[in-house]
Amino acid sequence: MPGPRLAHKSAVITGAGSGIGLETSLLFASEGCSSVLADINLEAAERTAQRIHEQYPEVKAIAIKCDVSKEAEVEACIKKAVNEFGRLDIVVSCFENVTVPGKWLIAVHQFNNAGIMHPADDNALNTDEKIWDLTQNINVKGVWFGCKHAITAMRANPTDESKGLHVGGSVINTASFVGKMGAATPQIAYTTSKGAVLAMTRELAMVHAKEGIRFNALCPGPLQTPLLMDFLNTPEKLNRRLTHLPMGRFGEAIEQARAVLFLGSDESSYITGMDFLVDGGLSACYVTAE
């Protein structure tokens, strides 16, 4: 029987209190991964940690309050993961599936997922500059800070090429299908922020490829999570989108979490720089079936 897919690995997950981040935290724990669960809403992150403690008592989960738009807070999260899991002599399965006991080998897997879609985000004429700045600060700068400090942590992982050991890491940045497709239901600040995440992820993937640090952008389609459902608060708004969805339904957060698990595990060891669409076929759609 194969072991858990993330055994002995550690992760930092932002936006861990709800939606995709919550489901990813639970799924990672079920696969043996210890995590720092970061969210601006500490109580929500603590609820996620509590569920992990109850369901997977052998796995470590630490909730931490973090506003991803504040660099010092992001840095503190990543240091927390390195300190907590490193001092416990966490051993990492390397790409060749070799384990080296007793060494400080840490793969900090970083999932930069926290994001907002502000209800006052509208078209180019009606969107206030404050909404623009808030959205870019969280959705773009927050991802940059997460990547920046993950690179520092991952570079500190010892490597031994002579033994075929190379410990890098996997960084997954949550973008969106709206970074790939046009929509006439405008959210100019959000759409722009997600396009920036795609471009940032691609460049980081190229710059750090030879260090064994992979960067991929998860591009979810429209989902049944509070972020979107709070926004689509009338039947008209819901149906305006539903008619364009090939499967005739919104996606579920767990369907994104399964893709994050794949991108975070060594099963995707040759995948980097991808816009990884998990959108129920939306981006391939011209006309939906009757």
What residue ranges bind ligand NAD (CB under 6 A)?
Answer: 14-15, 17-21, 39-41, 44, 66-69, 113-117, 138, 174, 176, 220, 222-223, 225-228, 253
Least distance in angstroms from the C-beta of 66 to ligand NAD: 5
Nearer to ligand NAD, 86 or 280 (CB): 280
For residue 286, indicate whether it is catalytic: no
Nearer to ligand NAD, 15 or 86 (CB): 15
User: Taking a C-beta distance cutoff of 8 angstroms, is the pair 105, 169 a contact?
Assistant: no
Nearer to ligand NAD, 93 or 201 (CB): 201
Least distance in angstroms from the C-beta of 22 to ligand NAD: 7
Least distance in angstroms from the C-beta of 156 to ligand NAD: 24
Query: What distance lies between CA 200 and its chain's CA centroid?
Result: 14
In the bound complex, which residue of the shown chain has the CB atom lying closest to ligand NAD? 19
Let me know the angle formed at the C-alpha of 194 by 190 and 195, rounded to the nearest 5 degrees: 115
Nearer to ligand NAD, 93 or 187 (CB): 187
Q: Quick one: tokens of 168? A: 């890098």
User: Taking a C-beta distance cutoff of 8 angstroms, is the pair 41, 47 a contact?
Assistant: no
CA distance 76 to 73: 5
Backbone phi and psi for residue 284, each to the nearest 5 degrees, phi listed first: -100, 5
Least distance in angstroms from the C-beta of 200 to ligand NAD: 13
Nearer to ligand NAD, 165 or 217 (CB): 217
Least distance in angstroms from the C-beta of 163 to ligand NAD: 38
Enzyme catalytic residues: 190
